[in-house]
Structure 1
Amino acid sequence: MATLAEPITAPHRPAEVSPAHWSEGRLTDADLAHIPGDAGPPVIGNLFRMLKDPHGFHWGMFRKYGPVYKNKTIGYWHVMLIGAEANELLLFDRDKNFSSEQGWGPTLHQLFPRGLMLLDFDKHRADRRALSIAFKPEPMRHYADALDRGIAAEVAKWNGTMLFYPAIKELTLELAADSFIGVPWGPESAKINQAFVDMVQASITPVRKPLPFTQMRKGVKGREFLVDYFTQETLKRRAGEGLGQDMFSQFATATSEDGKMLPIDEVVDHMNFLMMAAHDTITSSATSLVWLLAKHPEWQEKVRQEVFAVTGGPDAKGNPRGATYDDLPKFDLLEMAFKESLRLIAPVPSIPRRALRSFEFKGVRIPAGAACGFNVHLTHHMEDYWDSPETFDPMRFTPDKVKARHKYAWVPFGGGAHMCLGLHFAYMQVKILMAQMLQRYRIEVEDGYVPEWQPWPIPKPRDGLRITLKPL
């Protein structure tokens, strides 16, 4: 279905592009003339159509042009490959043909340089191996205890009608202080939260230079603040101050294959990126699950009964028993409901790459140097893989149905070498959160209430998701 051809050899299409020169080797209209698609209006291309309704835009392109199409934004072409086979081709990447660094670079290099997602091949493998120490069973057990303490204390304060998204966002940041940093945030917590907000929003701003008063300027300033903060913290950990089981201590003292500790600036960049991923994507994922369980009370009750069975339910005084690290694999229904929420509202709706050599997909030749990518959201909603794809049905994720489906039809955490390093942490936090919430409250929404979601770059309800928590 997909075959490789020649490497990039033309002078204007080098096989490696420096992060400082993302526009180097961009393809021309003539290079991609044989691929169907839409250039949009002059100069801006389809940028504003995409920003206004990214899912609707790509559904329209897919239906009009098929599983391979091109799209132009701000003078540059992007080739989209749609479907589970496309996901497998770009994620599994058996022949190391697709660069994640050069795919994400134009969007993220000013904000999250050298984050794990922006590394390729040997460098990515080496850094991933060094950082994986933070996700081994012993530290994960420590995180689970810290998460349960923090979640229990905060959830106990919740009651009545509330906006869930800002509440869980604040809680997730506080949990990161304990599990990730090992110390409570000080007065800088509001600045840290705002820095991440500004950086994520800057990733999709049309103005790509940090000019005064622009969103990109806010994002770059947010990065500068976090670099200073995490640099100082790294120096403290390496001096033995506050060294513990937290994730940051693991990163700060991680060693590469030659036994040397990672350079401080690399530790800082990895921490920045992983904090963003944990801060924003877990917030988004937890919010979508809470919304869907509120919308489907029959499933909420099924999951609640499972939580009671696994934890033993509240004690004699009515206090919920927390979920332990050893409990986590027992939450089968909760995990299926979470997976279904990730299918319906993927935390990363699309993923870019850049082709280092030309290849064919579905009979279409994509030339070397092409910016290409796949759309997670579309695949997750295609009738080719999912019956009644807009329906919430966690039973799609029973073992037999998972086995019968294309392995790359469900990819909220990516796949292949770039599978999300923190996916088990995400599962853990959401399971512990729901174990606490469902033992205390019935989660409800008003009849007919449907929040409007900001679909991109990381989905969130524009109104904050108004829910009502009723004590059991």
Structure 2
Amino acid sequence: MTMNAPHPASAFIPADLPEPSFADLAHLPGMTPARMPVLRTIDFLKDPLGRSQKMVETYGRVFRRQDFGGWGVSMIGPEANELVLFNKDKIFSSSLGWNPVLENLFPHGLMLMDFDEHRIHRKALSVAFKTEPMKHYLGELNSGITRGIAGWPGQGDFKFYPAIKALTLDLAAASFLGVPWGPDAAKINKAFVDMVLASVAVIRKPLPLTAMRRGVKGREYMSEFFGREIPKRRGRQGDDIFTQICNTTDDDGVQLTDQAIIDHMNFLMMAAHDTTTSSITSTVHFLGQYPEWQDRIRAEILGIKAKTAGELTYETLADMETMELVFKESLRLIPPVPSMPRRALKDFVFMNHRIPAGSHVGVNPMMTHRLPDVWPEPARFDPLRFTPENSRGRHKYAWVPFGGGGHMCLGLHFAYMQVKSFFFHLLAEHRIVPGDGYKGEFIMFPIPKPRDGLPIRIERL
């Protein structure tokens, strides 16, 4: 099976998969039909965490829901995460889950593939995340982050979220493309912002003046950008992710098509740029609220500097243990992907509920991460939850900010590396102080971000 050959529909996906109605899901607890489902979606997006908590309190951990996509089933908790994400019995399709949300924007991205097709493409892309390329990326991250932080205001408040978003885009240029974005940077940033906002747009067709139209235009712009670059990368050596993907081959030695490369780069850039921006912002938010953790991380950083002539190396990433605890707890409370959709390919039973084939099934890291029986005092920020002794006995799928199973985030280790590099350079000689009037409120969907841009001060020690 080569990548250039057209992919038949997976044998696992029935050609006549039904679209369940309210009647098909009427035996489940949950919402009753709304006259205007769009208004229900708008209401949910005002306060996703509050609305989700109310649903779990009212209906339990398996319930029927209605939104602009129609009827679906929410399943909350580690056991639900394991069933759906590990997908041992091949019950769930990731592509059919994400397609209604992302098909117009990131078609044929890795997350929108299933089974053999997903495995083949994931294996081909994984070449870009092996040890030697990762060491190169770390060098680029260290120098780019040092430059970026030096350019931030030395005095007074500034909004952290737009600043880190611009920096992560610049860092992606170095690691992903191997060249600066140049004059295209602002357009590229706008393209990705528009694509992500379109993913939860209430109007799903790209009609004039709609968010979906702007998202589709953003995709067209990025597709042309990558398309122009591919011929320059074919047959050449390069340490950046793009060049490696342009030259990777499948098990039969066949290269990816231009269109496959465009689709993968669009998706990988979105995933790396937006989710990392969100994750770093959440971590800065909590470190600003709990400065004692800044002190503990700083002590760790100074210990590493003493061993490595001042720089973070690939070998010393693992020494940033406190930073990892803080990062994990930040993603527990504000996961960068709050909800993960799938579609059931056949009937199944969960917690004594029969759920029919075709159902749109969602697992919800945002809610699982706040279940009090899994996480005592779930609203409290406590990085020590993630020490080896405190993690012992906790369900493997209780914490899933990067997903799980075959679709576990391909760039997981890259994300950890970028976060550690960022805080290594920020906290060694600075402290984070919340800005005046900062409220700490986050918009949780589709990818969390602070309502007010997160005003902070970076004070030199």
Residue 442 of structure 2 is matched in structure 1 by 453
Q: Equivalents in 2 of 1:218, 1:462: separation in Å? A: 22
TM-score (structure 2 length as normaliser) = 0.94
Structure 1 stretch displaced more, 284-293 or 70-79: 70-79
Once the two structures are superposed, residues 205-237 of structure 1 have per-residue CA deviations (whole angstroms, 9 ceiling, x without a partner) of 010000011110000000000001111111210
Identity %: 53
Please state if 1:350 is matched with 2:339: yes
Please state if 1:238 is matched with 2:240: no
By how many angstroms is 1:50 displaced?
Answer: 1.4
Pair 221,17 (structure 1): closer, same or farther in 2 beyond 3 Å: farther
Unmatched runs of 5 consecutive residues or more in structure 1? 1-13, 316-320
TM-score (structure 1 length as normaliser) = 0.92
Please state if 1:42 is matched with 2:35: yes
* Corresponding residue pairs, total: 448
Residue 6 of structure 1 is matched in structure 2 by none
Please state if 1:178 is matched with 2:174: yes
Does the aligned pair in 2 maintain the 1:201–1:219 contact within 8 Å?
A: yes
Residue 103 of structure 1 is matched in structure 2 by 97
By how many angstroms is 1:448 displaced?
Answer: 7.1
Q: Equivalents in 1 of 2:454, 2:59: separation in Å? A: 36
Please state if 1:436 is matched with 2:425: yes
Pair 446,232 (structure 1): closer, same or farther in 2 beyond 3 Å: closer
Residue 377 of structure 2 is matched in structure 1 by 388
Letter in 2 for 1:460: K
Q: What pairs with 1:125-204 in structure 2 (closer than 5 Å)?
A: 125-158=119-152, 159-160=154-155, 161-204=157-200
Pair 125,206 (structure 1): closer, same or farther in 2 beyond 3 Å: same
Residue 6 of structure 2 is matched in structure 1 by none
Q: Equivalents in 2 of 1:75, 1:149: separation in Å? A: 44
Q: Equivalents in 2 of 1:353, 1:81: separation in Å? A: 11
Letter in 1 for 2:325: M
Does the aligned pair in 1 maintain the 2:436–2:455 contact within 8 Å?
A: no
Pair 113,438 (structure 1): closer, same or farther in 2 beyond 3 Å: same
Does the aligned pair in 2 maintain the 1:352–1:374 contact within 8 Å?
A: yes
Pair 75,440 (structure 1): closer, same or farther in 2 beyond 3 Å: closer
Q: Equivalents in 2 of 1:368, 1:280: separation in Å? A: 33
Residue 88 of structure 2 is matched in structure 1 by 94
Letter in 2 for 1:427: Y
Q: Equivalents in 2 of 1:135, 1:50: separation in Å? A: 37
By how many angstroms is 1:446 displaced?
Answer: 4.6
Please state if 1:274 is matched with 2:263: no
Please state if 1:229 is matched with 2:225: yes
Q: Please point out which of 280, 296, 300 is paired with 1:286.
A: 280
Once the two structures are superposed, residues 13-49 of structure 1 have per-residue CA deviations (whole angstroms, 9 ceiling, x without a partner) of x96378xx9xx73112221110111135213252122
Does the aligned pair in 1 maintain the 2:278–2:448 contact within 8 Å?
A: yes
Give the secondary structure class of the aligned counterpart of 2:22: coil
Once the two structures are superposed, residues 285-313 of structure 1 have per-residue CA deviations (whole angstroms, 9 ceiling, x without a partner) of 00111111111011110111111111229
Give the secondary structure class of the aligned counterpart of 1:129: helix
By how many angstroms is 1:325 displaced?
Answer: 1.2
Residue 3 of structure 2 is matched in structure 1 by none
Give the secondary structure class of the aligned counterpart of 1:354: strand
Pair 17,105 (structure 1): closer, same or farther in 2 beyond 3 Å: farther
Letter in 1 for 2:249: T
Structure 1 stretch displaced more, 433-442 or 445-454: 445-454
Residue 4 of structure 1 is matched in structure 2 by none
Pair 89,166 (structure 1): closer, same or farther in 2 beyond 3 Å: same
Letter in 2 for 1:178: A
Q: Equivalents in 1 of 2:218, 2:438: separation in Å? A: 35
Q: Equivalents in 1 of 2:298, 2:69: separation in Å? A: 51
Q: Equivalents in 2 of 1:87, 1:237: separation in Å? A: 39
Letter in 2 for 1:54: P
Q: Equivalents in 2 of 1:17, 1:439: separation in Å? A: 55
Letter in 2 for 1:59: Q
Q: Equivalents in 1 of 2:295, 2:240: separation in Å? A: 34
Q: Equivalents in 1 of 2:140, 2:57: separation in Å? A: 47
Residue 16 of structure 1 is matched in structure 2 by 13
Q: Equivalents in 1 of 2:376, 2:401: separation in Å? A: 19
Q: What pairs with 1:291-306 in structure 2 (closer than 5 Å)?
A: 291-306=285-300
Does the aligned pair in 2 maintain the 1:26–1:76 contact within 8 Å?
A: no
Q: Equivalents in 1 of 2:308, 2:281: separation in Å? A: 24
Once the two structures are superposed, residues 314-368 of structure 1 have per-residue CA deviations (whole angstroms, 9 ceiling, x without a partner) of 98xxxxx331111101111110110000101100001000000100111000001
Does the aligned pair in 2 maintain the 1:285–1:342 contact within 8 Å?
A: yes
Unmatched runs of 5 consecutive residues or more in structure 2? 1-10
Does the aligned pair in 2 maintain the 1:311–1:327 contact within 8 Å?
A: no
Q: Equivalents in 1 of 2:172, 2:141: separation in Å? A: 9
Letter in 2 for 1:26: E
Give me the CA root mean square deviation: 1.7
Letter in 1 for 2:88: R
Letter in 1 for 2:95: E
By how many angstroms is 1:76 displaced?
Answer: 1.1
By how many angstroms is 1:150 displaced?
Answer: 0.5
By how many angstroms is 1:157 displaced?
Answer: 2.5
Pair 446,75 (structure 1): closer, same or farther in 2 beyond 3 Å: closer
By how many angstroms is 1:372 displaced?
Answer: 0.5
Q: Please point out which of 310, 329, 332 is paired with 1:340.
A: 329
Q: Equivalents in 2 of 1:75, 1:104: separation in Å? A: 11
Give the secondary structure class of the aligned counterpart of 1:383: coil
By how many angstroms is 1:451 displaced?
Answer: 2.3
